[in-house]
Amino acid sequence: MPLRLVTSLLLLAAAAAAHADIRLVMFRHGEKPAEGLGQLDCQGLNRALALPKVLLAAYGRPAGLYAPDPGAVKDDLGRPYNYIRPLATIEPTAIRLGMPVDTRWAWHDIVGLQAELLRPEHDGQTLFVAWEHHKLQALARSVLQARGADPAQVPAWRGADFDSIYVLTLPRQGGATFKVEAQGLDGLSTACPGG
C-alpha cells in the first residue's frame, strides 16, 4: 500500500475520531448488605465478577473507568462508612482490562465528575462510570440538560434496581441521546464465590 494512501487513511481516521461521540455507560454498584457497611454483599460481588463480560460484549473496551473516591465517607443507614461499593463493582472490569480506575471525586461530587466526562479529550471515547444510583440519576439529568436534551427522560432509579445501565451518547456538535439498558444479571447467587 503506498505511503500516501496510508497517510490519508490515518488522517481521515483521526479527523473522524476528533468529531466522534462521547458514550457514557453508567451503572450502579452491586447489591449491598442489609447493614450497609459501605460494602457489597455476596450477590453484589457475584454481579461485579460477572460485569466485565456483559460490559465488554455490549460496549467494547472503554477509554476510562470512574468510581467515587473510596476515602470519602458516606452515611449508610445512619452510620458513616468509607463508600467502596462502586469501586468494588468496577474493579473486576479494571483488572480484566489492565486499566486504572479514576477515583478523584467524592461520591457526591457529580459537578466535578461531569466536568471530567465532558472534556473534549474524550471525543470518540466510551467511558464506564460506577456510582451511587441517586447521583447517577442526577448526573444523567444534568448532562442532558447541559446538552439541550430533556432531563425528564431519565427515570427515577428504584432502590431495588441494581441491573440498569444508563447510556448517554453525546455528539461533539451538541445534543444527546439517552437510553436505559439492562445488565441481565439479576438473580445471581447470594452465596459468596469460593464457598
> What domains appear along the chain, each with residue ranges and CATH number?
20-182 (3.40.50.1240)
Q: How sure is the predictor about 187, in pLDDT bands with cuts at 50, 70 and 90?
A: very high
- Please say whether the beta carbons of 173 and 161 come within 8 A: no
Q: Is residue 72 over pLDDT 80? A: yes
| Residue 2, pLDDT score | 59
Q: Which residues contact 159 (CB under 8 A, 6 or more apart)?
A: 133
Helix (H) or strand (E) holding 87: helix 85-97
126 CA to centre of own chain: 9
Q: How sure is the predictor about 3, in pLDDT bands with cuts at 50, 70 and 90?
A: low
| Residue 14, pLDDT score | 45
* Whether pTM exceeds 0.75: yes
- Report which residue type is found at 39: Q
Q: Is residue 8 over pLDDT 60? A: no
Q: Which residues contact 191 (CB under 8 A, 6 or more apart)?
A: 42
Q: Is residue 95 over pLDDT 50? A: yes
HEC profile of 111-153: HHHHHHHCCHHHCCCEEEEEECHHHHHHHHHHHHHHCCCCHHH
At residue 104's C-alpha, the angle toward residues 98 and 108, to 5°, is 125
- Spatial distance between the Cα atoms of 96 and 103, rounded to a whole number of angstroms: 18
State mean pLDDT over 108-129.
Answer: 97
Count of beta carbons in the 10 Å neighbourhood of residue 178: 21
Q: How sure is the predictor about 9, in pLDDT bands with cuts at 50, 70 and 90?
A: very low
| Residue 195, pLDDT score | 73
For residue 62 the three cell numbers come to 472503554
- Please say whether the beta carbons of 184 and 132 come within 8 A: no
Q: 134 versus 78: which is more confidently predicted? A: 134
Q: How sure is the predictor about 19, in pLDDT bands with cuts at 50, 70 and 90?
A: low
Q: For the chain, how big is the Rg over CA atoms in Å?
A: 18
* Whole-number percent of the chain with pLDDT over 90: 86
